[in-house]
Amino acid sequence: MCPGLCSPIFLFLVWGAHWGLITAESPVTAQFGRDVTLSCLFPSQPGMNLQHLTLTWQKEQVGAEALVVHSHYYGREQLARQDEAYRNRTWLDPEGLARGNASLMLMGVRTQDEGVYRCHVTSELGTTSETRQVTVMAPYSEPHLTLDLSFRLGHTLLTFSSGGGYPRASVEWRDGTGTNLTELSTTTESVDAWGLYTLCSELAVPVGRSTNLTVLLVTAPGRETHIQHITVAGGPGQRWSHVWLLVACLGAVTLSVIVAARILHPPGRGTCRRCSESRFTGTKDVEDPSPQS
């Protein structure tokens, strides 16, 4: 019997020393445009021969061969098979290998860098494999909110916009009671060359009563990055503002018609037959023979 040597912990350590260690996926959050370090540690000892060490960082792909991110073996870097997307963007500390540190620095993070990375190290002490789940984040800009009172008679148009963010987000509208009004809104999105999103959401609100609204920018389930509270004032004053707007428009149309009529038919160019005959036949008007008073 070997109660101590046959324990599960001891068996795990023996298996790890002879066959290799595989660690679970560890999440890493990387900020867009910045550098991020993906850690990878493996067993080492003083005087270990690094000529026998092989190290490969790869990015997994669904349904395709993994991309080579960085390679180091035979005592030096081997970048001939490095994927073009990572060219001149990776760095490995060669002195760290002697201490069992194969961590990789990825510079200038892009949205396309998001995914699962695997570090695979083989040395005279065994094999180690670690994975890192990289999530890219880019903060959305401070929201811009505008109100258009002339959008449609009896309605105010609210426009919420924010951009330069990642990952993809959504916009939610709620009233003062918490009722979701998102189905009544119209949201459009666009993606730039860097894979960053811009959102624009519009909601038409009926006038005539005060309305408390909340608009939220949601980047992940249960995660709200920007919250704006809005109060749309109602009451008779706002209704009359739309009435006066309509009256002003009608007045402008009427004035335009009058001006056009004046231009087409100016005074002094009437169709009096007597005046026309005297003008074209050269006759003079007969003076009034009545005595002068």
Q: Which of 94, 117, 137 is the last residue in one of the domains?
A: 137
pLDDT tens-digit series, residues 133-159: 999 999 999 999 998 877 677 888 999
Total of domains in the chain:
3
- Residue 179 and residue 70 share a domain: no
**What is the pLDDT of the chain when averaged over all its residues?**
78
Confidence band of 266 (pLDDT split at 50, 70, 90): low
Residue 190 scores a pLDDT above 50: yes
List the domain range (segments joined by +) for residue 267.
Answer: 238-280
Q: How far is CA 167 from CA 64, 109, 110, 161, 199, in A?
A: 23, 13, 12, 16, 12
Whether residues 273 and 199 fall in one domain: no
Regarding whether 91 and 47 lie in a shared domain, the answer is yes
* pTM reported for the whole predicted model: 0.69
Query: Does the pLDDT value for residue 194 go beyond 70?
Result: yes
Is residue 292 a part of any domain in this protein? no
CB-based contacts of 73: which residues, under 8 Å, 6+ apart?
53, 54, 55, 56
- Is 285 within the bounds of a domain? no
Kind of pairing, strands 211-220 and 223-232?
antiparallel
Residues 220 and 246 in one domain: no
The predicted-structure confidence for 206-239, as pLDDT tens digits, reads as follows 877 678 899 999 987 666 667 878 887 665 444 4
Q: How confident is the model at residue 103 (pLDDT cuts 50, 70, 90)?
A: very high
Range from 4-13, 74-83, 109-118, 230-239 carrying the lowest mean pLDDT: 4-13
Residue 154 maps to a domain = yes
Q: Which of 178, 250, 187 is nearest to 213 (CA)?
A: 178
Domain annotation covers residue 2:
no
Task: Please report, for the domain that includes residue 167, its CATH number.
Answer: 2.60.40.10
Phi, psi of 18 (to 5 degrees): -100, -30
* For residue 259, pLDDT beyond 90: no
